Structure 1
Amino acid sequence: MKKLNKDFWEKKYQLGEMGWDIGHISTPLKKYIDQLKDKNLKILIPGAGNAYELLYLLEKGFTNVFVIDIAKQPLENIKNRISDFPRNQLLEGNFFDLELDNFDLILEQTFFCALDPSLRMEYVLKMKQLLKPNGKLAGLLFNFPLTESGPPFGGSLSEYKTLFQEHFQIKILETAYNSIKPRADKELFFIFESK
């Protein structure tokens, strides 16, 4: 198993090996954000990368948005693109060490699939800890067989149900109908509400 640490991800950025980076917000997340009414929501984007979701949220008037990434380079990219973005909302570090909490919403976009699969239950528990009661975890999970050749690491609808159902109410978990072409039928859109 590869060591998926800070050095691993920094090297990916240095070498431009960013197959997960589609260069814009994904259609399912854009459509989800478009229906959010409360611009004061406290939102977290973990494993943010170049954070196209952040750019879109800011365009839509959301300001209480935090991003975290273990790698420094994508955070520098964000600083360069959004010079006035509050530095205290731009977090460099390990997601599992995050001390902030009381988020209304956490957006999942290629973070879960980048983690070593042995961390999946830890991910579930950390998400529950970071969210307010009835807070939402929403986004996309890959729907293809889990192999050791990742990242990205896949999974299945039944696995995700088993993993999350004890700590979250599963509001939606279905094949995304509006994925980008290379990911068509390989993504599940979900909304999980913290119990």
Structure 2
Amino acid sequence: MKQDFNADYWQQRYTQHNTGWDTGSITTPLKDYFDQLENKALRILIPGCGNAYEAEYLYQNGFKNVFLVDFAPGPLQNFAQRVPDFPVEQLLHQDFFELEGEYDLIVEQTFFCALNPALRPEYARKAASLLKPGGKLAGLLFNTTFQKPGPPFGGNREEYRLYFEPYFNFLHFELAYNSIPPRQGNELFILLEVK
């Protein structure tokens, strides 16, 4: 039977605390990347945001144009309780693939690996369509295969390159040197600029 990874599926995962991807805080590669961003006015999108520790970190460090999207309501509600002064209109309860708008930066953290792999080419196309000229897609992709059926779904840099090459120039696409210990050696840090 084919699993439908719809909003109900993800909401159930959050309700049952079946969230093994959730590290409880921002991970080092993203923190280090955010720390070198100087333009606090960037319009930033975090798709499939989950509990959005990345957004919390950005917001607390002066980035006020951060938008979170998830089609499960639970993580958005969790975030709103944790960061009560975050603008509610920037919490988008919808499907990433139906999203409209223009952003300077899209942050990838465990959303790509949660999607059915058949959607990966569409993810690359959609991300590119949401970015302003010169906009960037930055974050982490698993560079490994998993023993258990997904999600998460793994893969490798050669596969990923095929999805992103039609839409992006590759500024950085290497093994992350500063992954958290459980993910050490299994993550690519990507920084792609829309063509």
TM category, shorter: over 0.9
Alpha-carbon distance in structure 2 between the residues aligned to 1:172 and 1:25: 20
Distance 1:45 1:156 in 2: 22
Specify every segment of 5 or more residues in structure 2 that has no aligned partner in the other structure, as ranges.
none
- Say if 1:134 and 1:146 are closer, same or farther in 2 by CA, change over 3 A: farther
CA contact (8 A) 1:107 1:139 kept: yes
TM-score, normalised to structure 2's length? 0.97
Code of the aligned partner of 1:137: L
Question: SS of the counterpart of 1:138?
Answer: strand
What is the distance in 1 between the residues matched to 2:126 and 2:66?
18
- Please give the residue correspondences for 1:92-131 in structure 2 after superposition, counting only pairs within 5 Å: 92-99=93-100, 101-131=101-131
Deviates more, 1:148-157 or 1:171-180: 148-157
CA distance in 2, matches of 1:163, 1:193: 14
Alignment of 1:46-61 (within 5 A): 46-61=47-62
Letter of the 2:151 counterpart: P
* Count of equivalent residues: 194
The 5 A counterparts of 1:88-167 are 88-99=89-100, 101-145=101-145, 149-167=149-167
Distance 2:106 2:29 in 1: 15
Counterpart in the other structure of 2:8: 7
Poorly superposed stretches of 4+, deviation over 2 Å: 145-148
CA deviation string 1:103-161 (max 9, x = no partner): 00000000000000000111011001100011000000000137781111011111111
**Considering only aligned residues, what root-mean-square deviation do their CA atoms show, in Å?**
1.1
What amino acid does structure 2 have at the position aligned with 1:176? A
Q: Is the 8 A contact 1:104 1:135 kept in 2?
A: yes
What is the identity, as a one-letter code, of the residue corresponding to 2:36? Q
State the TM-score, normalizing by the size of structure 1: 0.97
Task: Report the secondary structure of 1:7's partner residue.
Answer: helix
When residues 71 and 141 of structure 1 are mapped into structure 2, their CA distance, relative to the original with a 3 A threshold, is same
